[in-house]
Amino acid sequence: MHIPDGILPTAVCLGGYATAGAATWYSLRKINQSENPREGIPRASLLTAAFLVASWVHIPVPPASVHLLLNGLLGAVLGFYAFPAILIGLFFQAVMFQHGGLTTLGINATIIGVSAILAHLVFQIRKLFGPDNRTATGIFGFLAGASGIALAAVAVFALLVTTIPANIDVEAERTAIGILTIAHIPLMLLEGVFTALVVLFLIRVKPELLEGK
């Protein structure tokens, strides 16, 4: 899911930094419009750490393997805090573990972070059924977790397929990218279930963590 250095053209990487900057500005603007912008910082810090280490949990899906992402969970629980949390997590993944890259940091942040924000909007739909409706919370928690992975995987697929260098076997590369994308379907379901369980737990023991999210 993380695109490493040296894969994408320079222009695409620069465009990724531009979109990540715009998304960061928008997210911070939405956070500052809340009643207490600092209230969500401890929660965001905790989930940033979870996001940072999640990439080390690899799930074998022959002929490849995929890893946990948790962007849907961050979107559901953190709301607009999710984007800066993911940006910081990606930076430390690239610097400390060489997972992803610095030239592609903007692209990775845009793909994973915007998917998290869209997952947040999906989770918001539960409010139409009442804030304390556990069934709706579980269903839309699942959809948020699953859609976070699905949207990011589709975005990565589209980006890689449209930027394949002409000097390699394009058809073989497309097939490999397609297989890797399909391999994320089990992970999509797993993260959907995990996100649903987390939000159901939170609404039972500390529902205020989901208020306004």
67 by DSSP, 3-state: which? Answer: strand
pLDDT at position 92 is 92
pLDDT at position 178 is 87
The rounded mean pLDDT for the chain is 89
Q: Take residue 137 and report the two structure tokens written for it.
A: 């919370």
Residues in Cβ contact with 7 at an 8 Å cutoff, skipping those fewer than 6 apart: 104, 160, 163
Q: Take residue 208 and report the two structure tokens written for it.
A: 């205020």
Domains of the chain, each with CATH number or no CATH? 10-210 (1.10.1760.20)
If you count DSSP H runs as helices and E runs as strands, how many of each does the chain have, helices first? Answer: 8, 2
Would you say residue 97 has pLDDT above 90? no
Over residues 6-46, the pLDDT tens digits come to 889 999 999 999 999 999 999 999 999 988 888 889 999 99
| Mean pLDDT of all residues in 50-69 | 71
pLDDT at position 149 is 94
Beta bridge partners of 64: 61
Over residues 120-169, the pLDDT tens digits come to 999 999 999 987 789 999 999 999 999 999 999 999 999 999 987 767 77
| Mean pLDDT of all residues in 207-212 | 74
Comparing 177 with 145, the larger pLDDT belongs to 145
The pTM for the full model equals 0.91
Planar angle of CA 128, 68, 163, nearest 5 degrees: 95
